[in-house]
């Protein structure tokens, strides 16, 4: 129920003030140190009125500044409506957690939630009220730089992570918990399917696929009470999301009942003009407000045209009032009318931000996010070994990844330094080896000299952080040539080599995994990543991460994902020379490393997969149980994964669909029985008429350490 205060405010506001309330400006419009309003107003074609009445600001993170700006703004705003401060706090504020794709690899929902809670705390004391997270876009194309912002290719897992992040950011009660922030799930919808992996590109898919694969994670965020939604840049069914009435008004607001704030992505309303669905700003504004977008980020089409569109009768003023009301309600829920500074507290910020406790959690999550891809007897390192740590990431703080603008590369503990701390500095030699994309003779010579003395070579390689993230698509997803050359130079020395990879996307690992003895995927592990990786390399922590996005064999296979269809001419499991099957002539169909894959320093044996019954009914669930034993020499954590295949669907069903997972920690020799419960509800999916039901008939059940190497049983669903 809308409060009297807000009803009254909306009544008192002029149409121009209402339109301004819908505008979001970047920090540069307000930042000049004295709380005076300045900035590039001219370029946007707006004046003081708009700046003094804009409803929200994005991208500031210093509490002192936020306090100044809010106070200066309130002194000028005749209704006393406070500004909302928003920012992209994606994987941590100053304590930087691993990038979301890495976080996904942890399969640790509790820790992910905790990371969001920590991020919220640091954000809130710094004065920000809303974070533009979680990003819930399902991703299947590693050429797209923004895969680093997603938790991967599985709709079920993405939904769990999106929900966990919202809980962590928002807590239970945003009004009273001023150490939490409102969340904004993005980018609605299906931005992850950008054609060819090229950012901002077209998305085209059936409504059935949209609902089955792409929507569940956004929906899960909303089911946790996520306050805001952000539109995506792409088209859906040939209509840009920000003007897509069917998607926003009919589905999001109508069918799902979302009554929170919908914000456009940066300039996305204005971009309807180059997209080719609006002749000018005026038409763009008309389409966006009609579709249901409340806040316009960084284009001025609303402030320029909404008042006139209303006076001409093209837009019903009630639509504008609704949008303004939603924004004011969010401000009220955040307690801003009573306490416009909310959590902003420079002194508390100095204590809380990047504190030891937060860093400890970031280190734990980083360690759980790394994935051991290969290990032929090199890892863990022994502390008495002489190790040469070589490569562009041996002594680099560029391990935070994209979207970590409040973090600091300078304070991030570098891998080489962390290893020297853990072992002994005189046993660890450091060398550059190469830059990210270039290598000199001198660098190679120094690397060789360092390696000559060593028992083991650790190569710290990868992509610079700006090679993934927004607007960072790549068509070649191998390591840069210079680093492949470095691997070759090191290989000639004939010593054991372990590679640690720092990167934001699944890579084509040819020239790496086939050349060295061990590979640890560290992703961008965040501010405490150096220490986490050192712990893993020395076996202080046993790797337990599992990939949530397939690593392609080569780029030509993309998109390649585990939950694909079989086709009518599947390639037989054994190599045959059969010609007319679905295959490549030159590469395998399977990815190099499948979804769910990841090694440990111990081994786990799966056996006796059993079902409590071979028949399921809608009323009765069945139990799926498996025996798992630690057959190695050290304690380890295994993520046991449950997949299902519907053998005869009304529409074609994926070869495997993740339906559950459990983490078990086992001591050497220890065994456990892991039990999953499986019910008819979990077998439902969108049919061709978009009804969400299950099919009677035969199902296969798979359990194992990844989506490929599984045990199998079967049952029937009787309905
Ligand atoms: C990105 C969003 C982000 C926004 C605000 C856009 O370019 O697509 O993910 O939240 O900028 O910084």
Check pocket membership of 186 for ligand 1, CB cut-off 6 A. yes
Q: Ligand 1: distance of its center to the CA of 158 in Å?
A: 20
Q: Is the pLDDT of residue 34 over 60?
A: no
H-only helix segments in 374-496: 415-422, 441-452, 481-491
Query: 70: helix, coil or strand?
Result: helix
Cα of 112 to ligand 1 centre, how many Å?
21
Task: Report the residue among 26, 88, 137, 144 best suited for mutation to probe ligand 1: largest number of ligand atoms under 8 A from its CB.
Answer: 88
Structure tokens at 587: 């590469």
pLDDT of residue 576: 75
Rg of the chain taking only CA atoms, in angstroms: 26
pLDDT value, residue 36: 62
Contact 246, 212 (CB under 8 A): no
Neighbours of 466 (CB within 10 A): 15
Name the residue of 470, 471, 472 whose CB sits within 8 Å of the most ligand 1 atoms, as the mutation to test its pocket. 470
Residue to mutate, 85, 132, 262, ligand 1, most ligand atoms under 8 Å from C-beta: 132
pLDDT tens, position by position, 585-599: 999 999 999 999 999
Atom of ligand 1 nearest to the CA of 233: 8
470 lines ligand 1 (CB under 6 A): yes
- CB-based contact 189:155 (threshold 8 Å): no
Which residues fall within 8 angstroms of residue 516, CB to CB, at 6 or more apart?
A: 374, 459, 487, 491, 497, 498, 499
Ligand 1 in reach of 91 Cβ (< 6 A) = no
pLDDT at 28 over 90: no
Q: Does the pLDDT value for residue 695 go beyond 90? A: yes
Of all protein residues, the one whose alpha carbon is nearest to atom 8 of ligand 1 is 265
| Residue with the two structure tokens 């996305």 | 268
Instruction: Look at residue 109 in the predicted model and tell me its pLDDT.
Output: 98
pLDDT of residue 31: 79
- Does residue 174 contact residue 120 with C-beta atoms inside 8 Å? no
Catalytic residue among 88, 137, 265, 398: 265
Q: Contact 593/624 with Cβ under 8 angstroms?
A: no
135-173 as b/e, with b when 16 or more CB fall inside 10 Å? Answer: bbbbbbbbbbbbbbbbbbbbbbbbbbbbbbbbbbbbbee
Q: Which helix (H) or strand (E) holds 387?
A: strand 387-390
Question: 532-541, 571-580, 600-609, 702-711: lowest mean pLDDT where?
Answer: 571-580
Query: How far does the centroid of ligand 1 lie from the alpha carbon of residue 55, in Å?
Result: 18
> For residue 271, what are the β-bridge partners?
none
- CA-based end-to-end distance of the chain: 43
With DSSP H G I counted as helix, E B as strand and the rest as coil, what are the percentages for the chain, rounded to 5?
35, 20, 50
**Whole-number average pLDDT of the chain:** 97
Q: What is the pLDDT of residue 662?
A: 98
Residue 717 DSSP symbol: E
What does the pLDDT average to over 523-543? 98
How many separate helices (H) and strands (E) can be counted in the chain?
21, 26
Q: How far apart are CA 283 and CA 688, in angstroms?
A: 35
- Strands 697-704 vs 711-717: parallel, antiparallel or unpaired: antiparallel
Q: Tell me the two tokens of residue 426.
A: 């005189």
271 lines ligand 1 (CB under 6 A): no
The predicted-structure confidence for 390-413, as pLDDT tens digits, reads as follows 999 999 999 999 999 999 999 999
With a 6 A CB cut-off, is 265 part of the ligand 1 pocket?
yes
| pLDDT above 60 for 35 | no
| pTM higher than the cut 0.95 | yes
CA dist 244 and 374 (Å) reads 45
- Vertex 125 angle, CA 120 and 131, to 5°: 35
Cα 333 to middle of ligand 1, angstroms:
24
Shortest-distance Cα residue to atom 2 of ligand 1: 265
325-340 pLDDT, tens digit per residue, is 999 999 999 999 999 9
Within 8 A by CB and 6+ apart from 247, the residues are 188, 189, 236, 239, 241, 291
What is the model's pLDDT at position 582? 96
Contact 387, 427 (CB under 8 A): yes
Query: pLDDT for 263-313, tens place per residue?
Result: 999 999 999 999 999 999 999 999 999 999 999 999 999 999 999 999 999
User: Which residues, 6+ apart, have CB-to-CB distance to 113 below 8 Å?
Assistant: 164, 165, 167, 168
Token pair listed for 269: 């309303």
- Distance CA(603)–CA(281), nearest Å, equals 61
CA gap 100, 56 in Å, rounded: 26
Residue 33: pLDDT over 80: no
Distance 231 CA to ligand 1 centre (A): 10
The SS3 of residue 78 is coil
Task: Decide: helix, strand or coil at residue 700.
Answer: strand
pLDDT above 60 (res 180)? yes
The verdict on the CB of residue 137 being under 6 Å from ligand 1 is: no
Confidence of residue 20 (pLDDT cuts 50, 70, 90): very high
Confidence of residue 44 (pLDDT cuts 50, 70, 90): confident
**Residue 577 confidence class, pLDDT cut points 50, 70, 90:** confident
- Specify which residues 607 forms β-bridges with: 627
The burial class, CB within 10 Å (0-12 / 13-18 / 19+), for 377 is: exposed
Question: Quick check: 353 pLDDT over 70?
Answer: yes
Q: Which protein residue's CA is at the shortest distance from atom 7 of ligand 1?
A: 266
265 is an active site residue: yes
Distance in Å, CA 576 to ligand 1 centroid: 48
pLDDT band at 37 (very low <50, low <70, confident <90, very high): low
Residue entry with tokens 């009914």: 617
Which phi-psi region, left, alpha or beta, contains residue 559 (left: φ > 0; alpha: ψ -120 to 50)?
beta
Tens digit of each residue's pLDDT (9 = 90 or more) over 431-454: 999 999 999 999 999 999 999 999
Which residues are registered as beta bridge partners of 610? 625
Ligand 1 close to Cβ of residue 212 (< 6 A) = no
Ligand 1 pocket: which of 265, 267, 270, 295 to mutate (most atoms <8 Å of CB)?
265
């Amino acid at each position: 129920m809308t409060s009297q205060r807000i009803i009254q405010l909306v009544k008192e506001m002029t149409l121009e003030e209402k339109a301004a309330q819908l505008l979001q400006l970047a920090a540069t419009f307000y930042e000049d140190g004295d709380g005076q309003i300045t900035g590039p107003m001219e370029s946007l074609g707006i004046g003081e009125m708009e700046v003094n009445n804009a409803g929200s600001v994005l991208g500031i993170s210093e509490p002192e500044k936020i306090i100044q700006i809010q106070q200066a703004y309130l002194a000028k705003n005749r209704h006393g409506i406070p500004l909302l401060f928003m920012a992209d706090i994606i994987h941590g504020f100053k304590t930087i957690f691993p990038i979301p794709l890495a976080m996904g690899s942890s399969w640790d929902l509790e820790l992910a939630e905790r990371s969001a809670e920590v991020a919220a705390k640091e954000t809130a004391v710094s004065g920000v009220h809303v974070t533009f997270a979680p990003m819930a876009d399902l991703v299947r194309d590693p050429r797209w730089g923004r895969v680093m912002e997603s938790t991967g290719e599985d709709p079920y897992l993405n939904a769990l992570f999106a929900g966990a992040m919202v809980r962590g950011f928002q807590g239970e009660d945003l009004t009273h918990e001023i150490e939490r922030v409102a969340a904004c799930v993005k980018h609605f919808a299906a931005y992850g399917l950008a054609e060819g992996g090229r950012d901002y590109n077209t998305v085209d898919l059936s409504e059935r696929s949209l609902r089955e694969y792409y929507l569940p994670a956004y929906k899960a965020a909303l089911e946790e009470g996520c306050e805001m939604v952000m539109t995506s840049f792409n088209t859906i069914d040939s209509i840009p999301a920000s003007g897509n009435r069917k998607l926003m008004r009919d589905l999001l607001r109508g069918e799902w009942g979302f009554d929170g704030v919908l914000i456009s992505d940066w300039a996305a309303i204005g971009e309807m003009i180059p997209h080719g669905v609006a002749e000018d700003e005026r038409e763009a504004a008309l389409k966006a407000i009609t579709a249901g977008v409340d806040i316009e980020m960084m284009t001025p089409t609303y402030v320029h045209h909404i008042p006139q569109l209303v006076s001409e009768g093209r837009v019903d003023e009630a639509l504008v009032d609704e949008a303004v009301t939603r924004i004011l309600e969010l401000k009220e829920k955040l307690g801003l009318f009573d306490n416009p500074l909310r959590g902003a507290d420079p002194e508390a910020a100095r204590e809380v931000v990047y504190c030891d406790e937060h860093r400890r959690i970031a280190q734990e999550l980083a360690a759980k996010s790394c994935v051991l891809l290969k290990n032929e007897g090199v890892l863990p390192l022994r502390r008495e070994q002489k190790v040469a740590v070589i490569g562009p990431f041996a002594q680099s703080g560029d391990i935070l990844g994209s979207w970590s603008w409040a973090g600091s590369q300078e304070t991030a503990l570098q891998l080489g330094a962390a290893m020297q701390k853990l072992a002994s500095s005189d046993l660890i030699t450091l060398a550059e080896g190469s830059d990210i994309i270039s290598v000199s003779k001198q660098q190679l010579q120094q690397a060789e000299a360092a390696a000559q003395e060593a028992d083991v070579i650790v190569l710290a390689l990868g992509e610079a952080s700006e090679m993934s993230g927004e607007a960072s698509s790549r068509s070649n997803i191998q390591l840069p040539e210079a680093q492949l050359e470095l691997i070759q130079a090191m290989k000639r020395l004939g010593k054991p080599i372990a590679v640690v990879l720092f990167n934001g996307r699944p890579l084509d690992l040819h020239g790496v995994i086939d050349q060295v003895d061990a590979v640890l995927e560290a992703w961008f592990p965040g501010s405490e990543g150096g220490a986490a990786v050192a712990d893993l390399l020395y076996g202080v922590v046993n790797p337990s991460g599992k990939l949530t996005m397939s690593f392609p064999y080569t780029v030509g296979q993309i998109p390649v994902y585990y939950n694909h269809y079989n086709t009518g001419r599947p390639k037989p499991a054994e190599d045959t020379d059969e010609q007319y099957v679905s295959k490549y002539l030159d590469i395998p169909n399977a990815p190099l490393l499948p979804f769910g894959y990841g090694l440990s320093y111990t081994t786990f044996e799966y056996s006796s997969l059993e079902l409590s019954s071979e028949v399921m009914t809608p009323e009765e669930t069945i139990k799926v149980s498996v025996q798992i034993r630690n057959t190695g020499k050290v304690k380890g954590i295994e993520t046991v994964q449950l997949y299902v295949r519907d053998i005869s669907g009304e529409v074609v069903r994926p070869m495997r669909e993740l339906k559950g997972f459990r983490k078990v920690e086992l001591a050497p020799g220890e065994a456990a029985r892991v039990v999953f419960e499986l019910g008819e509800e979990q077998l439902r999916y969108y049919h061709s008429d978009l009804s969400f039901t299950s099919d009677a008939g035969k199902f296969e059940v798979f359990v194992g350490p990844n989506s490929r190497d599984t045990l199998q049983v079967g049952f029937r669903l009787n309905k």
